[in-house]
Structure 1
Amino acid sequence: MQHYYGIDIGGTKIELVACDARLEVLHRRRIDTPTRDYPAFLHAVATLIGEVGTELGQPAQAIGIGLPGVVDRASGRQLSANVPALSGQTVGRDLQARIGRPLHFGNDLQCFALSEAHGGAADGQPSMFGAILGTGAGGGYCVQGRLIDGYNGIAGEWGHWSVAAHLLAKHGLPVIDCACGLRGCVERYVSGGGLAMIHRHLGGDGDAAAVIARAGQGDALATQALDVHRDLLGHALASLILAIDPHVIVLGGGLSKDERLYRELPAAITAHLFTGVRVPPILPPMFGDAGGARGAALLARQHHPIS
């Protein structure tokens, strides 16, 4: 059986899935992301591909890779806020030279959206937005199953919109610098790290998972942090709805595992919309954490169909 590999490069992990021609995930491996050592990053990706090929008994038909951040289309150099080692590097060119297999690159967040638009939670929808809430915040926009990437290839980068000043004042939050070079970016507040930051600002500690767990146990400070986070996230998604009006929004990333989000988020979004504007369905991802990697495999299949 021939396989397609899809690789999702994230701020904390690199995930590889091996899929068949129908994009059924047959094999999955995860490793930590070397975020600040570029040679170590190249070595890690090449080693992962080689080891999985050995385990499956044959190399991939083609490989799709979802990279974090954006690529300067003139120079081919990467800008990545969540994996600093990649910024300024010609990642696609260097991986191609290192691996020597057919490689096809996309944005990791857009790969997630593409996966959910094809056989996923948004399958058959006229339009959808895939919103990632993980190490960072971003997404991808699909119309009739086709990924819309835009002039700069950054369509869906809602994580680098600015949080409204009145909301920061309302909750007494500081304006925080972002690794992208801007200040007050949405992802610094609504990502997993953003939730932990809000909790610390209120006097708590722990990561996002701990905050969610404590809130589930009735902890008042953790519940307050989630309320603030939900307000900021609701405003950001309301702005997204006003901008592109997707028929469905599919959440991804670590925070998408919080079941309360799907019950409470629609009201938080509605609070920031004018009368008559409806909130589209907010859905969990069908493919969970494998969505970005599966979308990358879909890129590979589109370029190298198995005969």
Structure 2
Amino acid sequence: MQRYYGIDIGGTKIELVACDARLEVLHRHRIDTPTRDYPAFLEAVTTLIRDADETLGQPAQAIGIGLPGVRDRVSGRQLSANVPALTGQTVGQDLRARIGPPLHLGNDLQCFALSEAHGGAADGQPSMFGAILGTGAGGGYCIEGRLVGGYNGIAGEWGHWSVAAHLLVKHALPVLDCPCGLRGCIERYVSGGGLALIHRQLGGADLDAAAIIARAQQQDETANRALDVHRDLLGHSLASLIMAVDPHVIVLGGGLSKAERLYRDLPQAIATHLFKGVRVPPILPPVFGDAGGARGAALLARQHCPIS
């Protein structure tokens, strides 16, 4: 039986799923992420794989890994990550030296999109964009079910486009530095932390996104204003995305994707920033939720190692 492992590397956990050729999950295991000790990280991933081999009685045909941050395709080094131990390291080369089966690397956000394009909310669509709204903002783009990486492998890094200057002026928001080295990145305003910042800018308490959404449901004026500003910024950024790649469907992921009012209000917020005659594609919640990253990594492995 052909088996594929998908490994999702997160800031707090590493998850491995073992799937058969139909993507049925045969085995799943999560462990804490060693965030600052690189040798410990390599050993943790290697142990996860060996344990899965032992549990299933045979090794995987191929392994896919969804890594956070951006990987330099020339040097193979991670350029940025929410796992500090990985930054500047040649993660792929170092893991390949320890692991037998073919190993394929992807971005964790792109793996989310790939998962939703296969059996998920965007199943069967000619194209789709998976937009993550969580600790950060980013995503992945799929055409005919295949992930588009691009020249640098950063296709889908929509969170590091710049917010339109006129919107920052309109909402009296500062131009913020981004850890990526740029300024005014969309991620700094439309992520969960971005919503919290907007709430503070409006004079609200220092609350996380979930608490702000809860207060808005209780008709708190400042929380509702914060969500209005957030929706305007998000609507403009997704309108720009539509004009750039025109996906047939957009699937939201991350913690903010659980906010039901987003699906009700976001289409009109996007339409406001599109010129006449351009339709907003369906904006959908994810089918696989936070399990999508590991499943998408397994899909990545399967796509690079076709069924014989």
TM-score normalised per structure 1: 0.91
Aligned residues: 307
Q: Deviations over 1:220-246 (max 9, x none)?
A: 322222222111111110000111111
* TM-superposition CA deviations, 1:33-57 (whole Å, max 9, x none): 3444333332332333344445555
Q: CA deviation at 1:81?
A: 4.2
Q: CA deviation at 1:193?
A: 2.0
**Stretch deviating more after TM superposition (239-248 or 27-36):** 27-36
Residues 235-265 of structure 1: per-residue CA shift (max 9 Å, x gap): 1100001111111111111211112111111
Equivalents in 1 of 2:55, 2:215: separation in Å? 40
Q: Say if 2:258 is the partner of 1:246.
A: no
* Inter-CA distance 53–200: structure 2 relative to 1 (3 Å threshold): farther
| Paired residues of 1:122 and 1:250 also in contact (CA < 8 A) | yes
- Counterpart contact for 1:82–1:136, Cα < 8 Å: no
- 1:250-287 Cα shifts (integer Å, max 9, x gaps): 11112111121111111111111112111000011121
Match status 1:198 vs 2:198: yes
SS in 2 for 1:4: strand
1:227 matched to 2:199? no
CA contact (8 A) 2:70 2:81 kept: no
Give distance in 2, aligned partners of 1:210 and 1:5. Answer: 36
**1:6–1:220 distance in 2 versus 1, CA, 3 Å:** same
When the two chains are superposed, the root-mean-square deviation of aligned CA atoms in Å is 2.1
1:249 to 1:99, Cα distance in 2 relative to 1, 3 A: same
> Kindly tell me: are residues 178 and 38 of structure 1, through their superposed partners in 2, closer, same or farther at Cα, counting changes over 3 Å?
farther
Which stretch shifts more, 87-96 or 97-106?
97-106
Retained in 1: the 8 A contact 2:114–2:145? yes
Which residue pairs with 1:154 in the alignment? Answer: 154
Cα distance change, pair 6–85 in 1 and its aligned pair in 2 (3 A): same
TM alignment of 1:112-261, pairs within 5 A: 112-202=112-202, 203-261=204-262
Tell me the TM-score normalised to structure 2 length.
0.91
Contact kept, 8 Å, 1:5 with 1:297, in 2: the verdict is yes
| Distance change >3 Å, CA 261–CA 61, structure 1 → 2 | same
Match of 2:103 in 1: 103
Please, which runs of 5 or more residues in structure 2 have no aligned partner? none
C-alpha distance 220-105 of structure 1, shift in aligned 2 (>3 A)? same
> Structure 2 CA distance, aligned partners of 1:12 and 1:201?
29
Whether contact under 8 Å (1:81, 1:180) holds in the other structure is no
How has the CA–CA distance of structure 1 residues 126 and 279 changed in structure 2, closer, same or farther, with 3 Å as cutoff? same
Identity %: 84
| Cα separation, partners in 2 of 1:8 and 1:165, compared to 1, 3 Å | same
Q: Identify unmatched segments of 5+ residues in structure 1.
A: none
